[in-house]
Structure 1
Amino acid sequence: MSTPKQSGDSLDLRVFIPSVLVIAGLVLPLILFPESGTALVNAAFAFATGKFGWLYMIAGLSVVLFLVGLAVSRYGNVRLGGPDDKPEFSYFSWVAMIFAGGIGIAIVNWAWVEPIYYFMGPPFDVKPASDAAAEWALTYGQFHWGFTPWAFYCLPAIPIAYSMYVHNRPGVRLSVASRGLLGRYADGWLGVILDAVVVFGIVGGVGTSLGLAVPLVSQLSSGLFGIEPSFMLDIGVLLIWTAIFSASVWFGLAKGIRILSDINVWLAIFLLGFTFLVGDSLFMVEGWVNSLGKMVSHFVEMSLWTDPVGGSTFWKDWTVFYWAWWIAYAPMMGLFVARISRGRTIRELIIAEMVFGSLGCWVFFAVWGGYALELQVKGTLDVAAILNDGGIPSAVQAILNTLPMSGLVTGVFILLCFIFLATTLDSSAYVLASVTSRKLSGYQEPKRSIRLTWAFLISGVGVALIQLGGLKAVQTSTIVVALPMIPVLVILAWSLIRWLRQDFAKKVMEPHLVIEDHHK
């Protein structure tokens, strides 16, 4: 098995400088002119979702169908590597890194409360707070965190890994993976722009995660330790995160990110198992089975529902928003997953993301979402009212307080939050370092100095935006960036198919398809 070298090539200023300028050009106005900057971003978001919401919907269903077709085709046997390349990580650690890096803190927030939002504001003209609304509440949680999101994550990973490990092209970038279609233009200004936009999308995506995580952990810590909520508490929380993920980034994939992801998954399993045992387990299981059946039978309808006559905004407020959010994260996840998937087949990669990624999210929604919905339906706790008055952090805190040994559970939950976000932040810093390294191969890790540079840049942006309240605007602007990423996904898919047809035109079905001389 080939072992990655400890340090990669030098910083590529040709990509680094435009990337930093793009970030500064979009973040600084939000800091200097928060009101007008936020208004402009919101207007761009309204335009993107209002005029092109239908495009996000079509893109979601198309990506799912494309990957399912690819997995069952003969190209599913293609190994992402040479004949001697073996997987670098165990199957558990590989799937754990994919899941933890892709989901991060978001599911820890939303799994508890998202079904409550749907329960009070259901789709398809269903009466709010009704039995039908409760069924749709669990169903849409499975839908918005299931096959389609993971398909968005998976699509970029395959051509990137193919470029790195089959064609052995240097450069862990989207521009390199687009070379099958763009040719030499991928090395010019077009490729630089593509990579710079990807970098902004990653930093903005991290801003989204920080925007969710810091208020939640600050409020939980405040309640647990009796500390007054303040800006300094927020900064203290962020500094702890910086220390954790900087150390993880420093130690690299095998000794840092892999270990943190493994711990993350075991902690999540413990908390989910505890909630399942102390809650109404039968309600959770039956709720999940029912919602899974409802989602599968209505999958195409939910994927393409735009309610042009009724004028409901549910599909824009939720589905379009989520699809844009997942697309914005897709380049980061594609680059990260490609880097850790050497030696796997295309089919293995699609199954790991679309099947195991979806299953992981469904467990969170079945257990935590089911528990919260049960509290709401039975009148034990009015989660909806708390959400209305105090937002997500207050609602999560109130739900945790209903569990036995709530103090201990809250402490473990805070630890899970720290590790969950750290796994996303370290993956992000690692990918940013890879993208801005000069001719990095898939067998190398980026230099530690470049990894730490991005770790501290991410933290610096986070501190500035928390202080000035610009996180929401960065989250929104990231989602706006998702619109031009849709044609980029098309380019990547097209590039991959062209490569596969050229490389394996005469190959018959084999257990694994590999190019014997992958240096050609």
Structure 2
Amino acid sequence: MQHHNSGDDRLDRRVFIPSLAVLIAVVAPMILFPEAGPAAVSAAFAFATGQFGWLYLLAGFGAVVFLVGLAISRYGNVRLGGPDDAPEFSYFSWIAMIFCGGIGIAIVNWAWVEPIYYMQGPPFGVEPMSAAAAEWALTYGQFHWGLTPWAIYCLPAIPIAYSMYVRRQPGVRLSVAARGVLGDHADGWGGVLLDAIVVFGIVGGVGTSLGLAVPLVSTLVSGQLGVAPSLGLDLGILAIWTAIFGASVWFGLSKGIKILSDTNVLLAIFLLAFTFIVGPKIFIIEGWVNSFGQMASNFVTMSTWTDPVTHSSFPQDWTIFYWAWWIAYAPMMGLFVARISRGRTIRELIVAELVWGSLGCWVFFAVWGGYALDLQVSGRLDVSAILSEGGIPATVQAILNTMPMSGLITAVFVILCFIFLATTLDSAAYVLASVTSRKLSGYQEPKRSIRLTWAFILAAVGVALIQLGGLKPVQTSTIVVALPLIPVLVILSLSLLRWLKEDFGSETSLHHLVTKHPAA
């Protein structure tokens, strides 16, 4: 493979130091003032979702409309790379890396229990725990993990990849991709600030994932081994995680991250198939078909429902919370997906995320969510009561215990949890290293030393937050960070459109677009 331009892979202190400062500024008060810190964050969160909930909803809906339009337009044929740039990874590995980087541990956590939560507190004034609540429960799981989240993820990936592989601009970071609008300000403090916010969003998002994952695995492991849950067990689990993803980050994209993602997808398929075979097959299939139809016919309503009159907290608690969470994660996903998508066309990338990403999530929710809902509806297990009393980890454990060979299945599930979170963490450390490197070209990997530094910072943040129980505030602050990221996503989209018009505006023969390269 020819290297078009050698970038500069040294640590960029201009981005690294402010990023670390922002991180410390947010995490330190949580540690020093365990009461006041979280309270301030909760107030900020209530303000952001209460006053700007409509904006998050419009951002999500707008992303779907924009990308579908882009995919069917003539610009869908634009190749993210030179005319001779072949895709770097096989289609399966490419999709696997996109899916695992984007969804991580969260889906293994939520797919079992989320429909039960919706059944307890359904939308649209439906009677809790009723048959209608059960139908909406399956529908909303598909909605909150479907087209809109993947559109939010996909949106920044295209301008970043375009900047890297078509415009050949060195620097794997958001400020570079915003250059179409920001111009030379992208190199100044505005760009640095933008990149520092991105770094904070990534670390906060990853902190959230760790916060979901460690208690879940801790509960399952303690149940299997018959030891009491303790801080020591939590830290031991975190240490194993750090070893797995540290090694993966060390080996880089094609040896580490790709192999972990491939393994992850195969394990997940095995567990989903097993659940389907031992579970209520017809209920799962009918539930999926029904919820797909209900979501399709109510998509616009669900995407824009603010509940302005009765003010139930459903939109804030769920849809707005999720859209904000996806937006906070979007820069990381955009940077990671851009880095692995050289040689693909814009249309291929949109299909990969919106179609395959959504389908992947839908299968989890249809099979695991359907299995859990059937336990509840048929009365075989009162999942709702366990969830209210024991929380998510205890509920997942109880659901797994209803399966044949539950010991073996729980063990496989724990391994899946380990790999799933590791794939999120390694892509996060990889992206953080890219953002804090000077002028990385799209053909380079960031330095190992920088990648490992971030791997250990992520682990350290995780340990600090688990010990202090300060995960909720960090999760919440991540979502507050999502508010300023909405205009950033708009800037990236405008940047992309401006570049596409400049590069391909006049051409009519657009069977295969070959770009006029600016001097690289």
Which TM class, normalised by the smaller chain length?
over 0.9
Residue segments in structure 2 that go unaligned for 5+ positions in a row: none
CA separation of 1:459/1:8 partners in 2, compared to 1, >3 Å: closer, same or farther?
farther
**Partner Cα separation in structure 1 for residue 259 and residue 115 of structure 2:** 32
1:384-404 C-alpha deviation (Å, 9 max, x unpaired):
100100100000000000000
Q: What is the TM-score of this pair, normalised by structure 1? A: 0.99
Residue 517 of structure 1, CA deviation: 3.0
**Partner Cα separation in structure 2 for residue 4 and residue 317 of structure 1:** 48
Alignment of structure 1 residues 221-260 onto 2, 5 Å:
221-260=221-260
CA separation of 1:270/1:205 partners in 2, compared to 1, >3 Å: closer, same or farther?
same
| Structure 2 residue aligned with 1:206 | 206
**Partner Cα separation in structure 1 for residue 258 and residue 4 of structure 2:** 14
Residue 7 of structure 1, CA deviation: 9.9
Q: What is the TM-score of this pair, normalised by structure 2? A: 0.99
SS in 2 for 1:34: coil
**Partner Cα separation in structure 2 for residue 288 and residue 236 of structure 1:** 38
Partner letter of residue 283 of structure 1?
F
SS in 1 for 2:9: coil
| Structure 2 residue aligned with 1:173 | 173
Partner letter of residue 250 of structure 2?
W
Check the 8 A contact 1:345/1:512 in 2, yes or no. no
Residue 242 of structure 1, CA deviation: 0.1
Check the 8 A contact 1:82/1:518 in 2, yes or no. no
Count of aligned residue pairs for this structure pair: 520
**Partner Cα separation in structure 2 for residue 3 and residue 376 of structure 1:** 57
CA separation of 1:511/1:372 partners in 2, compared to 1, >3 Å: closer, same or farther?
same
| Structure 2 residue aligned with 1:447 | 447
CA separation of 1:79/1:233 partners in 2, compared to 1, >3 Å: closer, same or farther?
same
SS in 1 for 2:438: coil
**Partner Cα separation in structure 1 for residue 64 and residue 486 of structure 2:** 14
SS in 2 for 1:403: coil
Q: Percent identity?
A: 76
1:471 aligns with 2:497: no
CA separation of 1:71/1:388 partners in 2, compared to 1, >3 Å: closer, same or farther?
same
| Structure 2 residue aligned with 1:153 | 153
| Structure 2 residue aligned with 1:508 | 508
CA separation of 1:229/1:6 partners in 2, compared to 1, >3 Å: closer, same or farther?
farther
Partner letter of residue 295 of structure 1?
M
Residue 454 of structure 1, CA deviation: 0.3
| Structure 2 residue aligned with 1:302 | 302
1:119-162 C-alpha deviation (Å, 9 max, x unpaired):
11110111111111111000000000000000000000000000
Residue 471 of structure 1, CA deviation: 1.0
Alignment of structure 1 residues 260-275 onto 2, 5 Å:
260-275=260-275
Partner letter of residue 399 of structure 2?
I
CA separation of 1:183/1:127 partners in 2, compared to 1, >3 Å: closer, same or farther?
same
CA separation of 1:148/1:2 partners in 2, compared to 1, >3 Å: closer, same or farther?
farther
Residue 506 of structure 1, CA deviation: 1.5
Residue segments in structure 1 that go unaligned for 5+ positions in a row: none
**Partner Cα separation in structure 1 for residue 368 and residue 140 of structure 2:** 14
| Structure 2 residue aligned with 1:286 | 286
Partner letter of residue 416 of structure 1?
L
1:14-45 C-alpha deviation (Å, 9 max, x unpaired):
10000000000100111111110000000000
**Partner Cα separation in structure 2 for residue 175 and residue 7 of structure 1:** 16
**Partner Cα separation in structure 1 for residue 104 and residue 8 of structure 2:** 26
1:86-130 C-alpha deviation (Å, 9 max, x unpaired):
000000000000000000000000000000011111101111111
**Partner Cα separation in structure 1 for residue 391 and residue 68 of structure 2:** 38
Residue 505 of structure 1, CA deviation: 1.1
**Partner Cα separation in structure 1 for residue 416 and residue 3 of structure 2:** 31
Residue 509 of structure 1, CA deviation: 4.1
SS in 2 for 1:104: helix
Superposed CA RMSD: 1.3
**Partner Cα separation in structure 1 for residue 2 and residue 360 of structure 2:** 30
**Partner Cα separation in structure 2 for residue 452 and residue 309 of structure 1:** 51
**Partner Cα separation in structure 2 for residue 298 and residue 413 of structure 1:** 34
